[in-house]
Amino acid sequence: MLTLNAIRNNTQEIIDRLAKRGIDRSADIQEVIRLDEEKRSKQTLLEQNLAKSNTLAKEIGDLFKSGNKAEAEAKREESIRIKEAYKAMEIELAELDKQLTDKLYEIPNAPSHAVKLGRSADDNEVVYEWGEEPVLPADAKPHWELTSQYNLVDFELGNKITGAGFPVYTGKGARLQRALINFFLDEALKAGYYEIQPPILVNEASGIGTGQLPDKEGQMYHATIDNLYCIPTAEVPITNIYRDVILKEDELPIKNVGYTPCFRREAGSYGAHVRGLNRLHQFDKVEIVQIARPDQSYEILEEMVDHVKGLMTKLGLKFRILDSVGGGAWPFIVTGK
């Protein structure tokens, strides 16, 4: 979530950076500033009322001691009115604070200055490429036919048990899935990551902590009775380990890796171009997470990118890395084998 200081001190810059994501949030930004100013004004009045109430309390005590009961009673009535106004103002202030927080939650994070401008994925720039594109024969089969032919993945069985987007991995397909998970975990451990096996359900505070809530709840599976959410990625519970925690500088960077099943109520089309193992509602993922100083973030990002590049080359997969427009796409695209 963007901080109030960032919005107040760099208003136009934040608006311009958000525009790189193809969105205009200038009205929301101005509403945040208005709400913040109103909240600050009410906070000042509240503090003035409290100071006046404290002063009156002392005056009333002094008047009673001096035997000036009539004036003391008059000031006591004034004090009661001030306290009632104080309570009403506290309620108004709490409502303003909620409105301000809700509005801040609605505003996406602003992309870096380095993020490219563009209108679509066609404007992405390939900055690195490795491997050779396989040459497939004219009668090459798509992966959903191969997985069926070799009994690797059963989509129809998954649909029977649960629904579309919940495949059943079978035989060598299940073994391959398990082997890949272990491979990614083991390679991360070699690179100095510390393994975490987190819960796959999180509470509302954790969803807010990593930005899934309150505006992306439609993409998440929700266990309503317990008000828990199925995670869309291990990043959510792992990052929330450090929510409300103050870390010492010499503890940084912290490097965590975790495997979890992930769940997403994906929106969008389900045509021929997204058949098979694309657009799944449940999938397995190994996530690497680092907690580091802000001034080291780009260096850490490059380190993490290099780690994943090494994984792809060990697996012999052709891939490319994109400088993506809008800052919203994962830069690795696996394109072969």
In this structure, the strands spanning 254-263 and 194-195 are: parallel
pLDDT over 70 percentage in the chain: 94
pLDDT over 90 percentage in the chain: 59
| Phi, then psi, of 166 in degrees rounded to 5 | -125, 75
pLDDT of residue 141: 92
pLDDT at 103 over 70: yes
For residues 107 and 78, give the distance between their C-alpha atoms in angstroms, rounded to a whole number.
43
For residues 315 and 253, give the distance between their C-alpha atoms in angstroms, rounded to a whole number.
28
Q: Where are the alpha helices (DSSP H) in the chain?
A: 4-9, 11-19, 26-65, 69-106, 143-149, 155-161, 172-190, 204-209, 235-240, 297-315
- pTM given for the model: 0.82
Mean pLDDT across 153-172: 95
For residues 222 and 203, give the distance between their C-alpha atoms in angstroms, rounded to a whole number.
10
Structure tokens at 295: 């001034």
Q: Which of 265, 60, 298 is nearest to 164 (CA)?
A: 265
For residues 326 and 231, give the distance between their C-alpha atoms in angstroms, rounded to a whole number.
24
Q: CA 77 → CA 81, 91, 169, 229, distances in Å?
A: 6, 22, 76, 51
Mean pLDDT across 227-231: 97
> Which tens digit of pLDDT belongs to each residue from 232-259?
999 999 999 999 999 999 999 999 999 9
The letter for the amino acid at 61 is G
> Which tens digit of pLDDT belongs to each residue from 1-21?
788 999 999 999 999 888 888
